[in-house]
């Protein structure tokens, strides 16, 4: 059996990279390929128990990489890899320190994969961007193979030359499409639980952080709510900006119209309760929740920063420029009132490569080919 080492910041629920990795882990043939994880947290993460049940191991790196601790960070990795020769493949999901741990893995004869899950944070300070780029830039000359959730995310991290080579591949943030198919039973259940009744429900899934653009989202919903008083905004997610967004809703008198639903294991049920999916991100590597919403048959009003790769081709994906006025965004949302959930969209998602069973089999074949080369 091949053991692949996955290197990531945390393995907690609610993170896109973590959820994507767990989707692959659950669906790969674990009698042939097993995942182990190095995380950069001191405490146990929420996925840790499941990982252990599936046969994986979780190792906790002593410290996060911050450039100043390069000697101790490198020393930890050198010792760890020497003690664990069983890892033929090291798959890295942290960009800032990838040059360090993938560089050491390569020096010890392992196959290395760098994985980009998104584009740069456009709200970062210039100093932070310079430091991050300085740390991550060498990775393009170190890794053996390069994955990204989209071409845009690949170019942003590795540059056009790498993306144009045969060492680069888009690895889809695949999902279990069957879970997200519309269900009237789930719709009634969630609407009853949250007192939505027959309201026009605008849904959003995303962490409360600058990338997801909740500030503008609330302004647009406020504009819509004045047009359609029985409209409701259903927000799923947690994050550092949640309290400030709650305060903004209170200031605008939207306390009864905006529902902060938090994080749930059954997020797929909530899509059935929505009438339109709203995703005005400031930047995105892909936006897998948009794919999930389309599988549920929802019209999706998204910003033009969301890569076209997220469009499954069912006619449910509509882009709007972030430069457009709130009124125009609100009109786009209002136009979706009264629409029924489209059926049969799962076929579009499967044909677009988002079916996890097929994607996991492809990744497994790739890992096994590296193992065969090593032998």
What stretch of H or E contains 340? none
What contacts 66, CB < 8 A, 6 or more positions away?
none
Instruction: Tell me the C-alpha distance between 333 and 329, whole Å.
Output: 6
- Together in a domain, 77 and 114: yes
Are residue 312 and residue 366 in the same domain, yes or no? no
Does residue 321 share a domain with residue 240?
yes
Q: Using CA atoms, how far apart are residues 79 and 184, in angstroms rounded to an integer?
A: 54
Pick out the chain residues at pLDDT < 50: none
The tokens 């128990």 sit on which residue? 49
Same domain, 245 and 337: yes
Cα angle 154, 178, 148; round to 5: 5
Cβ atoms of 38 and 59 closer than 8 Å: yes
Q: Taking phi first (over 0 means left), then psi (-120 to 50 degrees means alpha), and beta for anything else, what does residue 315 get?
A: left
How confident is the model at residue 69, as a pLDDT? 80
Model pLDDT, residue 43: 83
Whether residue 188 sits in one domain with residue 332: yes
> 198 with 305: CB under 8 angstroms?
no
Report the CATH number that the domain containing residue 298 is assigned in CATH.
Answer: 3.40.50.2000
70 in Cβ contact with 97 (< 8 Å): no
Looking at the DSSP assignment, which residues form a beta bridge with residue 148?
Answer: 116, 170
Q: Residue 95's domain spans which residues?
A: 2-174+355-374
pTM: 0.81
Enumerate the β-bridge partners of residue 67: none
139 and 218 share a domain?
A: no
Same domain, 269 and 225: yes
Residues 158, 271, single domain; the answer is no
Residue 127 pLDDT:
55
Strand partners, 279: 302
- Report the distance separating Cα 143 and Cα 90, nearest Å: 10
CA angle 69, 75, 80 (to 5 degrees): 130
- Residue 98 in tokens: 């990838």
Paired with 170 in beta bridges are: 148
Core vs surface per residue 308-347: b (16+ CB within 10 A) or e: ebbbbebebbeebeeeeeeeebbebbbebeeeebbeebbe
Q: What angle do CA 125, 129, 130 make, to 5 degrees?
A: 115
Q: Which residue has 């400031």 as its token pair?
A: 282
Q: 143-187 pLDDT, tens per residue?
A: 999 999 989 889 988 999 999 999 999 999 999 999 999 999 999
Beta strands at 145-148 and 111-116: parallel, antiparallel or unpaired: parallel
Indicate if 123 and 165 belong to the same structural domain: yes
Of 45, 42, 24, whose CA–CA distance to 33 is shortest?
24
Cα–Cα distance, 287 to 140 (Å, whole number): 24
DSSP 175: B
The pLDDT assigned to 310 comes to: 94
Nearest to 94 by CA among 74, 76, 114: 114
Same domain, 152 and 184: no
Residues 253 and 346 in one domain: yes
| Whether residue 135 sits in one domain with residue 37 | yes
Quick one: which H or E segment has residue 190?
A: helix 184-193
In the chain, the number of structural domains is 2
């Amino acid at each position: 059996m091949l053991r692949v080492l996955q290197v990531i910041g945390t393995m907690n629920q609610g993170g896109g990279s973590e959820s994507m990795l767990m989707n692959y882990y659950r669906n790969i043939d674990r009698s042939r390929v097993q995942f182990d994880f190095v995380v950069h947290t001191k405490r146990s993460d929420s996925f840790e128990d499941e990982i252990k049940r599936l046969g994986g191991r979780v190792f906790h790196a002593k410290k996060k990489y911050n450039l100043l601790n390069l000697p101790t960070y490198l020393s930890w990795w050198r010792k760890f890899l020497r003690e664990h020769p069983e890892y033929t493949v090291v798959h890295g999901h942290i960009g800032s320190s990838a040059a360090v741990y993938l560089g050491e893995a390569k020096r010890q004869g392992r196959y290395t994969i760098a994985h980009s899950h998104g584009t740069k944070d456009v709200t970062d300070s210039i100093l932070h961007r310079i430091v991050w780029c300085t740390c991550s830039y060498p990775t393009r000359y170190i890794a053996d193979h390069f994955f990204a959730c989209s071409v845009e995310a690949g170019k942003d991290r590795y540059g056009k030359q790498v993306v144009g080579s045969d060492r680069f591949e888009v690895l889809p943030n695949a999902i279990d499409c069957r879970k997200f198919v519309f269900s009237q039973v789930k719709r009634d259940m969630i609407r009853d639980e949250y007192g939505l009744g027959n309201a026009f429900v605008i849904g959003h899934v995303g962490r409360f952080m600058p990338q997801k653009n909740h500030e503008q989202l609330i302004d647009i919903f406020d504009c819509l709510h004045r047009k359609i008083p029985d409209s409701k905004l259903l927000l799923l997610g947690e994050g550092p900006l949640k309290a400030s967004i709650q305060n903004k809703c209170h200031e605008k008198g939207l306390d009864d119209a905006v529902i902060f639903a938090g994080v749930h294991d059954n997020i797929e049920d909530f899509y059935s309760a929505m009438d339109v999916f709203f995703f005005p991100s400031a930047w995105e590597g892909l936006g897998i929740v948009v794919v999930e919403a389309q599988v549920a048959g929802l019209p999706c009003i998204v910003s033009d920063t969301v890569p076209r790769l997220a469009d499954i081709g069912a006619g449910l994906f509509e882009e709007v420029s972030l430069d457009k006025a709130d009124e125009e965004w609100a009109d786009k949302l209002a136009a979706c009132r009264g629409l029924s959930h489209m059926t049969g969209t799962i076929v579009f998602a499967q044909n677009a490569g988002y079916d996890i069973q097929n994607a996991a089999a492809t990744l497994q074949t790739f890992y096994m080919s590296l193992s065969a080369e090593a032998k």
